Structure 1
Amino acid sequence: MVPGPVVVVGTGTVSDEIASLLLTWDLDVRRHVEPRERVSAVIACFDAISTPADLSETALGLGRMLKQVAPSGRVVTVFRSPDAASDPALRAARKGVEGLTRSLAHEMRAGATANGLVLAEDLDAGAPSVAGGLRFLLSGRSAFVSGQFLTVDSVNGVLPGDWDRPLEGQVAVVTGAARGIGASIAEVLHRDGAQLIVVDVPAAGEQLAATANRVSGTALQLDITADDAGERILAHARQHYGRLDIVVHNAGITRDKLLANMDPARWDSVIAVNIEAQLRMNRALLADDLFNRPEGTSGPRIVSLASTSGIAGNRGQTNYAASKAGVMGMVAASSAQLEARHGTINAVAPGFIETEMTAKIPFATREVARRLNSLNQGGRPDDVAETIAYLASPAAGGTSGLTLRVCGQNLVGA
């Protein structure tokens, strides 16, 4: 959690509930702050607004404190979902908070971020899922998340007994885990208490075994495009652990070419690995009792890797962008299926992340990529992993069907 004072501003009941919640975490919670006093975070609650004119008091009160936000500090706006409002003035006001938050994120300095926590219309701000989302946004786990909106739609969610080990006793599968972001995901999930099954192609067997050793897990050499890939993962989980709680679809490939020069092999292989394999595996998972939890418990979690290329597009990546946009569509459409099983499905869309692959990009191109976001730096594999670990946790049970960008507020796309 962020160190130092956390200031809560706003006039509605949500601000009172959030202040009470923060006090249970032994934070230094303030309603007012002395001039020039450094603060670690400001939470601005806009739940009481009904017209755009109502934005002024809380927005300007927040503005007066921005120069006091410490390096790597946090600003979180909290408001009700605009989509739930039928009144034009009310929806305009809530959409106004979105625009305010996105613009504010561009104004933050020294590693500080600004994000929004969007609550369903009648959701109690004291719900466990709200606490989980707020804690994520106030922590170092969200360091490369800025200008984004974390939506909490339901009361589903279970707060962990130990915030440092929220996945204790759970079993997770990570595909594409031999190196890079996949290996980092496995390591963070292991740190959070999960037992790991790491999956990659046989050609990466040596590196996959090394990852499995680091996380005290088991390795499964598998081509995820195989028709029975989902069944083989389930059989491995059943044999070694007797349960399966979390699946992270990280495996992906690029085969870049301008569309005018694209051949079927490049196009089809990217679609097969990046989206068709996930669809096939999800069907197998959701049909098996091993991946379903009894009512009243934390349900299954699926987290998929999308990309900002699927949001904004990228020259020479029509196949890759199509596959990653497809992942976002799959996640949104599958939410109801997971809800029926008391579970969630979400996606994470990384921006420019410093990996072995991006290290091969020419230096000047890398520097440009690093500067194309509000934080003026590249992300790290563990930035992506931390966000996935949050979405896989019981506390994130109120969020499903969401694509959350981990891009430092990349300057392209929404």
Structure 2
Amino acid sequence: MSDRYASFAHTGPGRALVKRLGLPDPPRLRRHRPGDPLTTAQVRLDAASGGRLVEPLAKLLDSAGVEISGPAGGTTTPAGSTATPVGGTTASAGTATGPGDGAGSRVPPQAALLFDATGITDSSGLRALFDFFHPLARSLQPSGRVVVFGTPPESCTTPREATVQRALEGLTRSIGKEFGRGTTAQLVYVAPGAERAVESTLRFLLSGRSAYVSGQVVRIGRAEVPEVDWTRPLDGRIALVTGAARGIGAKVAEVLAADGAQVVALDVPAAGDALAEVANAVGGTAVQLDLTAPDAPLRLADHLADRHGRVDVVVHNAGITRDKTLGRMNPDWWDSVLEVNLSSQERINDVLLDRELIPRGGRLVGVSSIAGIAGNRGQTNYATSKAGVIGLVHSMAPVLAERGITVNAVAPGFIETRLTARIPLVLREAGRRMNSMAQGGLPVDVAQAIAWFASPGSAGVTGNVVRVCGQSLLGA
């Protein structure tokens, strides 16, 4: 559905009116298109003294064809910085600052600002973040990217180190709300020893695939990462997508197929015609099945075993809403939402895992919602089910790690679909504007985040719930 306000705000008269009245100003987001480079300009990379990630990051950027500016690219560090270049020396004062921060200062446009904060072990060291970002904030291009890398607080060796590493969350969430113009900001916690597991996440966060993901915290653990063809990372993989007949599910099927997967698209028999269209469009197969049927898990497992012998990626996208305040809700509405959105996922996982149809390197991806994080009036059943999906991710991650299988979830915010089109106008506009991007997301934004979780390169990414919500002000 079109966003008429955003379309008007992008016109000449619209821009003038938005500025004069201080209205929400939705930026044009840089979304991924086939053949796009990873970034549109150079990237500034720096680190606090003792950072353990700056050299691996520099190597990854170089191998991806990204031009690096700043210390990692062989130039200087902003004046007063306590950051340390890749070569291990600290820059002297008098170097370039951001536009408007000093006479004659010039910083070329930056596509991204990356900072390795793993070397910060005391609160006094947080000054390095100010010294890095302050002079460079206005050098970011529209739809710029900010990524700060830290050590998981639970992996720190002292209470003070854990304290400052947790402080990084406040920095990145605030930057996501401050910088504007479609800028996204993320914090990536990388466990000691997981330095080689970063590439998939770095590529996702730098690219247009993460256009509607901001203010998020991602954790990466140790893992053996195979060689990946980044143009078609899912080549040879079998991917099951439930609820694939329309909306987000159809787009997930499309994106996974574009990444090389052979897609098994599943939906209820009533959606058979639409499901067949999706399956044909992506070169996959269609399965008509009501997941709440008692024999559904076994029938699905038999189909996957007979036709493919396994399933490498399982995307639990199927979901329904039956909205009513709790005091007026029909008990059948409560039961049906919990059954479709949560219980059926558990039963399917149990059967697929018991029959060892998900091999080592497999990926489970759930679809939660910001309603499962913040709650929502009139959606107690839906919010409960979606919070349950988050619980499933957190509880299953350590269990599945022993089998080399990851489990993660996306939590969409306001996404432009036929369902959100039915929301009353005032509530719909509030949903669109109450985020850092001042607009609704698209189904492809959710699909791209799922594809990142599904990638073989994301072996170290497990137990994460990432909101695809433009950094919604709800549940932030």
Runs (4+) off by over 4 Å? none
Partners of 2:250 and 2:385 in 1: how far apart? 22
Q: Deviations over 1:343-393 (max 9, x none)?
A: 101111000000011112233322211111111110000000000011011
Letter in 1 for 2:272: G
Q: 2:380 is matched with which residue: 310, 318, 322?
A: 318
Residue 228 (str. 1) matches residue 298 (str. 2): no
Partners of 1:190 and 1:175 in 2: how far apart? 14
Post-superposition shift, 1:96? 1.0
Deviates more, 1:150-159 or 1:37-46: 150-159
Q: Please give the residue correspondences for 1:178-193 in structure 2 after superposition, counting only pairs within 5 Å.
A: 178-193=245-260
Alpha-carbon spacing, 1:292–1:20, altered in 2? closer, same or farther (3 Å): closer
Partner of 1:240: 307
Q: 1:84 is matched with which residue: 147, 155, 161?
A: 155
How many residue pairs are counted as aligned between the two chains?
405
**CA RMSD of the aligned region, Å?**
1.3
Q: Deviations over 1:167-204 (max 9, x none)?
A: 00000100000000000000000000000111100110
Asked if the contact 1:169/1:194 (under 8 Å) is kept, the reply is yes
Letter in 1 for 2:383: A
5+ residue gaps, structure 2, are 1-37, 77-95, 97-105
Asked if the contact 2:118/2:149 (under 8 Å) is kept, the reply is yes
Alpha-carbon spacing, 1:55–1:159, altered in 2? closer, same or farther (3 Å): farther
Partners of 2:356 and 2:423 in 1: how far apart? 45
Deviates more, 1:67-76 or 1:226-235: 226-235
Partner of 2:264: 197
Post-superposition shift, 1:235? 1.8
Asked if the contact 1:45/1:58 (under 8 Å) is kept, the reply is no
5+ residue gaps, structure 1, are 294-298
Letter in 2 for 1:268: D
Q: Deviations over 1:111-141 (max 9, x none)?
A: 1111111111x2242x1x2111111111111
State the TM-score, normalizing by the size of structure 2.
0.83
Asked if the contact 2:234/2:259 (under 8 Å) is kept, the reply is yes
Partner of 2:193: 123
Letter in 1 for 2:270: A
Partner of 1:296: none
Asked if the contact 1:300/1:338 (under 8 Å) is kept, the reply is no
Partner of 1:341: 403
Partner of 2:27: none
Partner of 1:132: 200
Post-superposition shift, 1:86? 5.4
State the TM-score, normalizing by the size of structure 1.
0.95
Asked if the contact 1:301/1:392 (under 8 Å) is kept, the reply is yes
Post-superposition shift, 1:15? 1.4
Post-superposition shift, 1:215? 0.8
Partners of 1:328 and 1:219 in 2: how far apart? 28
Partners of 1:159 and 1:140 in 2: how far apart? 23
Secondary structure of residue in 2 paired with 1:405: strand
Secondary structure of residue in 2 paired with 1:290: coil
Asked if the contact 1:227/1:280 (under 8 Å) is kept, the reply is no
Partner of 1:49: 120
Asked if the contact 2:310/2:359 (under 8 Å) is kept, the reply is no
Deviates more, 1:32-41 or 1:344-353: 32-41
Asked if the contact 1:307/1:324 (under 8 Å) is kept, the reply is yes
Post-superposition shift, 1:244? 1.2
Post-superposition shift, 1:105? 0.7
Residue 401 (str. 1) matches residue 401 (str. 2): no
* Amino-acid identity (%): 46
Post-superposition shift, 1:20? 2.0
Partners of 2:227 and 2:464 in 1: how far apart? 20
Select the structure of larger CA radius of gyration: 2
Asked if the contact 2:269/2:288 (under 8 Å) is kept, the reply is yes
